[in-house]
Structure 1
Amino acid sequence: MAAALAIADPGTYFDEALQTRAFRLLPAEYRVTDQPIALVTLLGSCVAACIYDPTLGVGGMNHFMLPDSEPAALAARSDGSARYGAHAMELLINDLLKRGARRSRLQAKVFGGGNVLRGFTSDPIGTRNARFVLDYLGNENIPVIAQDLGDVHPRKVCFFVQTGRALVRHLPVTRDEEIVRAERALYGRLSHAPVSGSVELFS
């Protein structure tokens, strides 16, 4: 699903707010690149891990929907999907290493896991996703230098892979229902399928 992201990639657009070229990730996608471009995604209960090698100037982002604890996760491995956490992390890290990144230099910033889906009161999806990504990176000895996880807010995240700079915006209530509807539809389809550091807020 991922490929080297070139400036001419048809998925890119010019982001007026950021004044830069950008690529918008959808749920179950990931991208790795060394280009001067921002990776952008919208998160509700999903989580995005942004991992990069600051020395090489290469990095990437994933956008996963559930931890790798469901039986259908095995099927995701065959179709290249990044919708389940463990596979999404594996895809992202392996792609970085293939492009010359050193595991010992990798750093992570993680976002999302907001409990935006009402009706999940016991161990909600957002909480599970947030817990998973921190546990996974801890087990892989990849330091999390910044995070904005949990709460009930949807977020817009922008990640500049060459520098590791990340911007986060907590979206207003007017955007809640749009993201909730999208996530309910996505999770519905899935159910039938086989730290320290600073975070910049932007407006």
Structure 2
Amino acid sequence: MAHTSKPALEQAMASNVYFDRVHDIQAAKILPGEYYATTQHMLLVTVLGSCVAACLRDKVNGIGGMNHFMLPGSNSETVAAKGGRYGIDAMEMLLGRLQKLGAERRNIEARVFGGAAVIASMTETNVGERNAKFVLDFLQAEKIAVVSQDLLDVCPRKVYFFPSTGKAVVKKLRNLHNTTIEKREQAYRSHLQSLTDRTKSGSQS
């Protein structure tokens, strides 16, 4: 494929890059607020509760990536300050990085996952539904085709994405008996709120 002759130009925002012995391939684990784009044949992995991950890929050149975000957006900070924490920025940053790596906008397609109702304290805000609606609306507005989706439901998901081929595998974590995902998302949401509060406090001083 065309992308195999290009140098490794990965965006190493993912904090955990490792060799996956099960799939015998270099892999990156995408945590909330992170994204990763690559020209190489590798595996991108994430675990989702109410968060959403968008897997974007240039179907001609095999360049692709994944993001992971919890909330649709916030206007209280600049894109640079927010990083990939919010959906609007996570999508724009991933698209921008893919294009820098050589992806052509007209060739990009999307696979989207997540948005489950897994945090009892967040059901009143419908955060999973808001994330799912946001990502579909964003992609429609940008005229990017959604070739597959697995959104909403009540089960956490583990997503495996191979950008070079476009293959995506979703494992529903129906038998998850611990509260790891719920606690992680609650902690991450608290972190986002503290950052927003600090930004507001700073702008008022």
TM-score higher than 0.5 here? Answer: yes
Kindly provide the CA deviation profile for residues 19-76 of structure 1, in whole angstroms up to 9, marking residues without a partner as x.
32211111100111011100111111110000000111100101111001x344x24x
| Range that drifts further, 9-18 or 172-181 | 9-18
How does 1:110-125 map onto structure 2 within 5 Å? Answer: 110-125=112-127
SS in 1 for 2:118: coil
- Share of identical aligned residues, percent? 45
Displacement of 1:176 in angstroms is 5.2
Larger Rg: 1 or 2?
Answer: 2
Q: Partner amino acid for 1:171?
A: L
SS in 2 for 1:111: strand
Ranges in structure 1 where 5+ consecutive residues have no aligned partner: 195-203
Q: Measured at CA, do residues 167 and 183 of structure 1 come closer, stay the same or move farther in structure 2, by a change above 3 Å?
A: same
Kindly provide the CA deviation profile for residues 48-107 of structure 1, in whole angstroms up to 9, marking residues without a partner as x.
000000111100101111001x344x24x1236101001110001111111221111110
> Paired residue for 2:189?
187
> Paired residue for 1:108?
110
How does 1:93-172 map onto structure 2 within 5 Å? Answer: 93-172=95-174
1:154–1:176 Cα contact (<8 Å) kept: no
> Paired residue for 2:202?
none
Ranges in structure 2 where 5+ consecutive residues have no aligned partner: 1-7, 197-205
> Paired residue for 1:30?
35
Name which of 82, 85, 88 aligns with 2:87. Answer: 85
2:56–2:65 Cα contact (<8 Å) kept: yes
Q: Partner amino acid for 2:165?
A: T
Q: Partner amino acid for 1:53?
A: D
Runs of 4+ more than 4 Å apart: none
Q: Partner amino acid for 1:89?
A: M
2:55–2:66 Cα contact (<8 Å) kept: yes
Q: TM-score, normalised by structure 1?
A: 0.85
CA separation in 1, counterparts of 2:180 and 2:16? 22
Q: Considering only aligned residues, what root-mean-square deviation do their CA atoms show, in Å? A: 2.2
CA separation in 1, counterparts of 2:70 and 2:94? 15
Aligned length: 188
Displacement of 1:14 in angstroms is 2.6
How does 1:3-14 map onto structure 2 within 5 Å? Answer: 4-5=9-10, 11-14=16-19
CA separation in 1, counterparts of 2:171 and 2:60? 27
Q: Measured at CA, do residues 45 and 10 of structure 1 come closer, stay the same or move farther in structure 2, by a change above 3 Å?
A: closer
